[in-house]
Amino acid sequence: MASVNIAGHEVQINEEGFMTDPSEWNEDIAGFLAGQIGIDALTEEHWKVIRFLREDYAEQGETATLRRVSTSAGVPTKQLYELFPKKPARKMAYVSGLPKPKGCV
């Protein structure tokens, strides 16, 4: 694990760049990470997904899959691909400061 400075905060990341301690995450970090993957600005729709993921992670202890986000958060899969183009499950977890979902390549 490495320690890096993201948006003025020291955080721990793994070899793939995912944060390893969700408690180190904040909204400034989310905005920075979104920019790193080509999302210029986080909209309210992005925040709905991010908030769901973080709340679900706190309850379940693992990052929700794309299917779970779609069914439980009520965000259609097509919209998730529009919000987080190409590999949305991976990108949603990354911006949310959570581990990569199981089964995600």
Q: Is 104 a catalytic site residue?
A: yes
**Three state DSSP letters for the chain:** CEEEEECCEEEEECCCCCECCHHHCCHHHHHHHHHHCCCCCCCHHHHHHHHHHHHHHHHHCCCCCHHHHHHHHCCCHHHHHHHCCCCHHHHHHHHCCCCCCCCCC
CB 20 within 8 A of CB 13: yes
The residue from 96, 101, 104, 105 that is catalytic is 104
Write out the catalytic residue numbers. 104
